[in-house]
Structure 1
Amino acid sequence: MKLNIDGASNAVLGLAGGGGLIRDEAGRWVVGFSRKLGKVNSFLAELWALRDGLLLCHQMNTTALIVEVDAKVVVEALTNPSYSNTIVSGLFDDCRQILSCFNQVRIQHIFREANMCADQLARLGSLQASEFVLFSCPPLDIKDTFEADSLGVYSNRLCPVFGCS
């Protein structure tokens, strides 16, 4: 299984959300989720989305899991066994504990452009009325993005060019 997660915060409204989706080995939608978080920073939003996604994968008796995250700081924290942060320690410890339940797990950073479905689910979470929502199929708002992703359609990433005259 593959788990893509993301956190989103709306600075204007002061609201945050987390979300993600689980795909099978063929890239098909298994389940998506979004969570309303209120006023939290982006690191906490990412961790909440990770915890939610890991719990869902664990409940589905997943044994091998690839976790893709577009927040490099989260990947670095999870792959560093000595990482410690007293502010998020409870949530972070939950994530580490759930991760230890899988036989095989790989956590990797991906670019934001490759994580658009999770990003859209996180944004839905920041605006939804319910605290937590599960999606058995892609919501209409992200259906086109998911289909494009499934077909391998990509978007260009603009990178600054250094050293040019």
Structure 2
Amino acid sequence: MIQALQKQRPSNNCNLRTNWEPPPRGWVKLNTDGAVWDSKNMAGCGGLIRTYDGSWVAGFTAKLGNCQVFQAELWGMRHGLQMAWDLGVRRIIVETDSAEALDKLNSMELTSQSFNSLVREIHSLKNRPWEILFQHIKREGNQCANWLAKNSLRKNYGFNFIDNPHVELQKLICNDCQGRVTH
């Protein structure tokens, strides 16, 4: 579906940014986030894929049920990577505001905790024949994924594919493309 236009590889060494930046041509960017609604014991995640010019490719929400925000963050990455693979993406930058999730993915140490199966699934997805980079971004730069994660809490359980963004999300995407951060 998405073809590489140039053989340009983005840098994995970046300063922590507060605004969204597009990927290089030939790459797409997947932003993911998790959310927990403590009073209802409810968690969810969301994410979106965009091209070098900020154009929407696809998005998702997933209502998860009761879990920790760390697990919701991992579910967001797992669902987003599977969606990207299914869409034919083969050059992807995954961005999250969860330093803890990135640290866990980069760690070779697996304990008996329940989220390790998620980490293994993400590693399995990561090891497929594609180019993939993981990056950390501040929460302010991850506002679209954050909107989707919060919105997932109002959806049906399970994975919900989104081929066209909601009007409110379109405004956030526009802000991202213009380098504006809203609070």
Which one of the candidate residues 103, 111, 116 is aligned to 1:89? 116
Aligned residues of 1:6 and 1:70 also touching (Cα < 8 A) = yes
Number of residue-to-residue matches in the alignment: 155
Distance 1:119 1:83 in 2: 28
Q: CA deviation at 1:155?
A: 4.6
Which one of the candidate residues 94, 98, 116 is aligned to 1:67? 94
1:97-136 alignment runs, 5 A limit? 97-136=124-163
| Residue type at the aligned position of 1:35 | A
Distance 1:85 1:127 in 2: 33
Distance 2:116 2:157 in 1: 26
| Residue type at the aligned position of 1:83 | E
Superposed structure 1 runs of 4+ greater than 6 Å apart? none
TM-score (norm 1): 0.88
Which one of the candidate residues 50, 57, 60 is aligned to 1:23? 50
Distance 1:107 1:126 in 2: 25
- 5+ residue gaps, structure 1, are 157-165
Distance 2:157 2:66 in 1: 15
- 5+ residue gaps, structure 2, are 1-27
Aligned residues of 1:18 and 1:49 also touching (Cα < 8 A) = yes
- Greater mean alpha carbon deviation, residues 55-64 or residues 45-54: 55-64
TM-score (norm 2): 0.79
What secondary structure does 2:40 align onto? coil
Change (3 A) 1:71 1:141: same
Percent identity over the alignment is 32
What secondary structure does 1:53 align onto? helix
